[in-house]
Amino acid sequence: MSFAKVLSPALREIRILCCQSNAASAGTRQFIVSNYPVIKQHNPDLPVLIREASGTPARVFARFEAGVEKKVELDNLSSSNVAAKIAQLLNIA
């Protein structure tokens, strides 16, 4: 999944939550390492927040205009599956 494109202007924020040591968050952590630089390169003004906390289940929230917020659970997914879920959430699949 390629995030090498400008995302919708209706997207206001992406928040990624995960545990910094839990095996269930490993795919999410790998997704962040692999894709965060590309996302920010193509969307420099889009806030992409990464929150790591012990025991936190891996999930991502997307906030759109008019306060609409959607989320997807990412626990126990591989990095490529995390990318697919996030792309589906952002309607770029």
CATH superfamily of 11-90: Glutaredoxin (3.40.30.10)
Of the chain, the percentage scoring pLDDT greater than 70 comes to 97
| Threshold 0.85, pTM exceeds | yes
Average pLDDT, the chain: 94
For 50-73, write each residue's pLDDT tens digit: 999 999 999 999 999 999 999 999
Rounded to whole angstroms, how far apart are CA atoms 80 and 32?
11
Return the number of other C-beta atoms located less than 10 Å from residue 75's C-beta.
17
Domain ranges of the chain: 11-90
Is residue 1 predicted with pLDDT exceeding 70?
no
Return the number of other C-beta atoms located less than 10 Å from residue 51's C-beta.
10
**pLDDT band at residue 91 using 50, 70 and 90 as cut-offs:** confident
- Identify the pLDDT of residue 70: 97
